């Protein structure tokens, strides 16, 4: 008996106090239909009613029929939750996180919020200052964010990209790492659940009022007060003041936390990555030590790459630090805003550069040879009224070699939704893509003295340049004496290497492209959306070669929010190659190959295209989807053919695993691309247009991962049309292994 009494008086109150120790963060202002809650100490869900408290760690689930409104106690921020939604409250001293498994949530976050407010999904993080926006997340790894007021920073956890979301915009974030911001049409934005349910709710209130006359003990005044408050949109009055004194100890907690947040500089995201590993540059294996800080304040973002390479002898490679221009290479990027903003600009690394519908330039990246080759580009644009502009430069360094890839786009909206666009893209001189370390005009692969600008030819290979070598052909007889007292006595004459290819001495190989397009969104809903477009492209090459590419019909569609489809009917003529400036353009822009007579020749991409005059007709198709929040896949295929037997086929594919479901794996994706080829599925026999790779991260401990970044490129150096492992340099393997620390 004494034991039972002790248990009742001491143990039970102690256990109840532990259960209730979680911080009360919010109250339920409204709940209708299938709305349930599960506290941390509970095993199962229970029904959730208006007026109930919500604690840190609670999980709320709204069924197929229902909605719920939550009001936070400290700053009166509001969450409106639509049907088929599940999420969890996670509170720390400085951060409030809404962890959404799936569903639709409208957040109205006050500007005077007491904590940093974030919404997290399996693939995205949305950081909020003070704003109103929708979050829509499905189980397939596709998120959509709609901005209503203020500004939201959306971060894709797969690719590491940031985008800024403003009013009237939509940001799409996917498990494949895509992050795209675009204008949102009003019909795309979900309806406010509170507005949808006003009329039915009034009917329910009348029914409840009749029931209350018969049973007055059933929820009297609080429900009515809260309903009226929500209708007036005055959150401060939604929680009756008389209720607060009952929870005085808990209500005081936010005041204490406010004192503990004197340094809310956590609002400006700062990330420091550090890398330790190995890297091969010019055939030499270096140990790598790198610091990669990233700073973001509002729309301003800065990323640096501070790296040192140490050879096996312990010497630091000085090529990255010995010239003033090298310090520009330490800037990964400087950005303001993102595509879709009224104004945006990015300087440094460029990824997935596409203009319009991609007939000329699609998916271009200036980082394919990073870090061995560091390119500095620019992409920016602005909108003013019905007009919009965009400009890009692939690599400023190319202009010092007489070339450079650049382009621009202008758009016009004559009527609502209809967009007309025009593009221009040019590579001033494809030869400028040749590596020339000493800048003497002779490419490194053809230069016998690639680090000495005064010399380039060594016929006999004795390490002495022909210009100063007394015996240039190495036969033991003087043929080039610099001393007038010595007679040239070569009995057989002198046979020298021919003058090497010199960029400064040959005509530039320019490519010039034009395009016009028109697009119109035909239909948009939660289940299905469709956009139609048409495009006309022109490519002009040297030697009076040119071609036209028409897309009289193109379509983009989204099914069930997790399946994306694209289709184009194409009509090409003569020397037009679709998406000539693609992801691998810097790799096959210009090539050096060995001829049958052992001489070397330099050819540009247009010269290596397997295209002849004539008409070609075919199609392009692409699809991407997510599977059960486990894996995302995308692929595209192009098939163009002519009556003469000309064929141009392309195939690309990418696979991304959702590593949240895989213990110890921090990231995992792979890709393959082979464009403008006869048989892109001949995997055993790659072409110069073939690139593939993967990136896998293994989490050694929290914040520490071992990352393998592998790329395989191909070159036909001997010009026989076959990529062979027996020919040095035809298969290029780039493997970067590093230990990455995230702080």
427/565 Cα distance (integer angstroms): 31
DSSP class of 213: H
Residue-level pLDDT at 15? 42
Tell me which H or E stretch contains 539. strand 528-540
Q: What is the gyration radius of the CA atoms in the chain, in angstroms?
A: 32
Contact yes or no for 500/418 (Cβ under 8 A): no
Contact yes or no for 131/97 (Cβ under 8 A): no
Residue-level pLDDT at 729? 73
C-alpha distances in Å from residue 73, one per residue of 56, 95, 219: 12, 15, 22
pLDDT 10s digits, 655-681: 888 776 677 787 788 989 888 788 888
Residue with the larger pLDDT of the pair 83 and 256: 83
Please check the confidence at residue 363 and state whether its pLDDT lies above 70: yes
What average pLDDT does the segment 287-305 reach? 80
Please check the confidence at residue 406 and state whether its pLDDT lies above 50: yes
> Of all residues in the chain, what percent carry a pLDDT higher than 70?
80
C-alpha distances in Å from residue 89, one per residue of 38, 60, 72, 222, 434: 11, 8, 11, 24, 55
What average pLDDT does the segment 530-540 reach? 95
pLDDT 10s digits, 675-725: 878 888 888 888 877 889 888 888 777 667 777 888 888 877 776 778 888
Residue-level pLDDT at 531? 93
Kindly tell me the number of DSSP H helices and DSSP E strands found in the chain: 9, 38
136/245 Cα distance (integer angstroms): 37
pLDDT 10s digits, 56-65: 889 999 988 8
Residue with the larger pLDDT of the pair 218 and 437: 437
Contact yes or no for 325/288 (Cβ under 8 A): no
Categorise residue 259: left if φ over 0, alpha if ψ from -120 to 50, beta otherwise: alpha
Residue-level pLDDT at 595? 65
**Tokens 């979900």 found at:** 190
47/65 Cα distance (integer angstroms): 14
DSSP class of 10: I
Residue with the larger pLDDT of the pair 272 and 188: 188
Please check the confidence at residue 326 and state whether its pLDDT lies above 80: no
Q: Provide the pLDDT confidence category of residue 357 given band limits of 50, 70 and 90.
A: very high
- Secondary structure of residue 679 in the 3-state scheme: coil
pLDDT 10s digits, 87-133: 998 888 778 889 998 899 999 888 766 678 889 998 888 888 678 89
Residue-level pLDDT at 269? 53
573/565 Cα distance (integer angstroms): 26
Residue-level pLDDT at 648? 81
Classify strands 46-47 and 306-310 as parallel, antiparallel or unpaired.
unpaired
Residue-level pLDDT at 401? 80
581/585 Cα distance (integer angstroms): 5
Residue-level pLDDT at 273? 60
Please check the confidence at residue 571 and state whether its pLDDT lies above 60: yes
Residue-level pLDDT at 422? 97
What average pLDDT does the segment 227-253 reach? 39
Handedness of CA 339, 345, 351, 355 (dihedral sign): positive
- Secondary structure of residue 165 in the 3-state scheme: strand
Residue-level pLDDT at 390? 96
| Residues contacting 655, CB < 8 A, separation 6+ | 631, 632, 633, 669, 670, 671
Q: Per DSSP, what are the bridge partners of residue 442? A: none
Residue-level pLDDT at 22? 66
In a 13 Å sphere around the CA of 698, the CA atoms on its Cβ side amount to: 5
Please provide residue 232's backbone torsions phi and psi, each rounded to the nearest 5 degrees. -85, 0
Peptide bond between residue 371 and the one before it cis (omega within 30 degrees of 0): yes
Residue-level pLDDT at 424? 97
List the one residue out of 707, 702, 706 whose CA is nearest residue 743.
Answer: 702
Residue-level pLDDT at 642? 83
CA 23 to chain centre: 37
Residue-level pLDDT at 28? 92
What average pLDDT does the segment 241-251 reach? 39
231/269 Cα distance (integer angstroms): 37
What is the CB neighbour count within 10 angstroms for residue 308?
15
Q: What is 697-738 written as a DSSP string?
A: EEEEETTEEEEEEEEEEE--TTSSS---TTSTTSEEEEEEEE
Mean pLDDT rounded to a whole number for the chain: 79
Show the tokens assigned to 46.
Answer: 């229970």
List the one residue out of 650, 660, 652 whose CA is nearest residue 624.
Answer: 652
Please check the confidence at residue 475 and state whether its pLDDT lies above 80: yes
| Residues contacting 553, CB < 8 A, separation 6+ | 532, 534, 568, 569
Please provide residue 244's backbone torsions phi and psi, each rounded to the nearest 5 degrees. -65, -45
Tell me which H or E stretch contains 205. helix 198-214
Residue-level pLDDT at 713? 80
Please check the confidence at residue 552 and state whether its pLDDT lies above 90: yes
Residue-level pLDDT at 594? 66
Please provide residue 609's backbone torsions phi and psi, each rounded to the nearest 5 degrees. -70, 135
pLDDT 10s digits, 10-60: 444 444 444 445 678 899 999 988 899 988 777 788 888 888 999 988 999
510/130 Cα distance (integer angstroms): 50
468/684 Cα distance (integer angstroms): 48
The alpha-helical segments, DSSP class H, found in 457-508 are: none
What is the CB neighbour count within 10 angstroms for residue 283?
7
- State which of 141-145, 253-257, 643-647 shows the largest mean pLDDT: 141-145
Please check the confidence at residue 188 and state whether its pLDDT lies above 90: no
Classify strands 95-109 and 78-81 as parallel, antiparallel or unpaired.
antiparallel
> Of all residues in the chain, what percent carry a pLDDT higher than 90?
22
Residue-level pLDDT at 505? 84
What is the chain's percent helix, strand, coil content, to nearest 5?
Answer: 15, 45, 40
Q: Per DSSP, what are the bridge partners of residue 667? A: 697
Classify strands 124-128 and 731-742 as parallel, antiparallel or unpaired.
unpaired
The alpha-helical segments, DSSP class H, found in 399-497 are: none
pLDDT 10s digits, 594-619: 666 666 788 888 888 777 788 899 99
pLDDT 10s digits, 496-514: 888 888 888 888 899 999 9
Please provide residue 75's backbone torsions phi and psi, each rounded to the nearest 5 degrees. -120, 5
Tell me which H or E stretch contains 693. strand 690-701
pLDDT 10s digits, 264-290: 333 345 566 655 666 666 667 777 777
Residue-level pLDDT at 338? 83
pLDDT 10s digits, 708-717: 888 888 877 7
| Residues contacting 182, CB < 8 A, separation 6+ | 169, 170, 172, 340
């Amino acid at each position: 008996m004494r034991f039972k009494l002790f248990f009742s008086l001491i143990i039970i109150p102690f256990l109840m106090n532990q259960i209730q120790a979680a911080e009360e963060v919010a109250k339920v202002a409204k709940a209708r239909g299938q709305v349930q809650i599960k506290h941390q100490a509970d095993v199962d869900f229970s029904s959730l009613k208006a007026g109930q408290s919500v604690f840190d760690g609670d999980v709320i689930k709204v069924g197929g029929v229902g909605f719920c409104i939550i009001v936070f106690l400290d700053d009166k921020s509001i969450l409106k939750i639509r049907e088929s939604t599940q999420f969890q409250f996670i509170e720390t001293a400085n951060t409030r996180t809404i962890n959404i498994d799936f569903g639709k949530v409208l957040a109205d976050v006050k500007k005077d919020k007491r904590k940093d407010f974030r919404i997290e999904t399996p693939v995205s993080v949305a950081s909020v200052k003070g704003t109103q926006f929708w979050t829509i997340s499905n189980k397939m790894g596709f998120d959509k964010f709609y901005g209503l007021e203020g500004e939201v920073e959306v971060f894709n956890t797969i690719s590491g990209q940031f985008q800024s979301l403003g009013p009237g915009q939509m940001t799409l974030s996917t498990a494949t790492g895509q992050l795209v911001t675009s204008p949102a049409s009003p019909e795309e934005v979900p309806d406010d659940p509170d507005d949808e349910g006003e009329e039915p709710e009034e009917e329910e209130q009348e029914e409840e009022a009749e029931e209350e006359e018969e049973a007055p003990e059933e929820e009297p005044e609080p429900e009515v007060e809260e309903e009226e408050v929500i209708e007036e949109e005055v959150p401060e009055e939604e929680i009756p003041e008389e209720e607060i004194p009952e929870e005085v100890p808990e209500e005081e907690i936010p005041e204490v936390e406010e004192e503990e947040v004197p340094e809310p500089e956590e609002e400006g995201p700062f990330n420091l990555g550090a890398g330790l590993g190995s890297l091969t540059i010019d055939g030499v294996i270096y140990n790598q030590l790198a610091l990669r800080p990233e700073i973001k304040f509002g729309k301003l973002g800065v990323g640096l790459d501070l790296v040192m390479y140490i050879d096996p002898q312990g010497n630091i490679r000085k090529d990255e630090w010995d010239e003033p221009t090298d310090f520009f290479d330490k800037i990964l990027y400087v950005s303001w805003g993102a595509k879709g903003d009224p104004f945006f600009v990015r300087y440094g690394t460029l990824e997935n550069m596409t203009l319009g519908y991609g007939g000329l330039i699609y998916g271009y990246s200036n980082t394919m040879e990073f870090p061995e080759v560091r390119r500095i580009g620019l992409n920016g644009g602005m909108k003013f009224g019905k007009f919009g502009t965009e400009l890009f430069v692939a690599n400023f360094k190319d202009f010092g070699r007489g070339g450079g890839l650049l382009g621009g786009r202008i758009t016009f909206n004559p009527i609502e939704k209809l967009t007309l666009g025009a593009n221009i893209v040019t590579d001033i001189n494809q030869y400028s893509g040749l590596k020339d370390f000493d800048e003497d005009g002779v490419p490194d692969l053809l230069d016998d003295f690639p680090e000495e600008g005064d010399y380039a030819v060594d016929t006999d290979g004795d390490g002495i340049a022909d210009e100063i070598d007394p015996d240039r052909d190495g036969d033991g007889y003087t043929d080039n004496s610099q001393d007038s007292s010595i007679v040239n006595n070569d009995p057989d004459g002198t046979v020298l290497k021919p003058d090497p290819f010199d960029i400064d001495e040959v005509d530039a190989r320019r490519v010039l492209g034009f395009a016009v397009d028109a697009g119109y969104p035909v239909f948009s809903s939660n289940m299905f959306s469709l956009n139609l477009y048409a495009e006309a492209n022109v490519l002009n090459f040297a030697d009076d070669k040119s071609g036209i590419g028409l897309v009289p019909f193109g379509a983009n569609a989204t099914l069930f929010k997790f399946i994306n489809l694209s289709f184009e009917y194409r009509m090409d003529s003569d020397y037009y190659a679709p998406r000539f400036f693609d992801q691998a353009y810097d790799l096959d822009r210009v090539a050096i190959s060995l001829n049958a007579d052992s001489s070397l020749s330099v050819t540009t991409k247009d010269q290596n295209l397997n295209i002849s005059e004539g008409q070609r007709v075919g199609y392009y198709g692409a699809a991407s989807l997510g599977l059960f929040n486990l894996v995302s896949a995308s692929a595209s295929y192009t098939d163009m053919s002519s009556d003469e037997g000309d064929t141009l086929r392309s195939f690309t594919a990418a696979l991304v695993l959702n590593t949240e479901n895989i213990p110890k794996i921090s990231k995992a994706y792979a890709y393959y691309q082979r464009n403008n080829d006869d048989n892109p599925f001949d995997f055993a026999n790659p072409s110069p247009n073939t690139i593939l790779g993967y990136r896998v991260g293994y989490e050694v401990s929290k914040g520490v991962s071992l990352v393998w970044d592998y790329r395989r490129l191909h070159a036909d150096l001997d010009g026989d049309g076959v990529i062979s492992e027996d020919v040095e340099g035809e298969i290029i393997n780039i493997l970067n292994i590093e230990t990455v620390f995230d702080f």
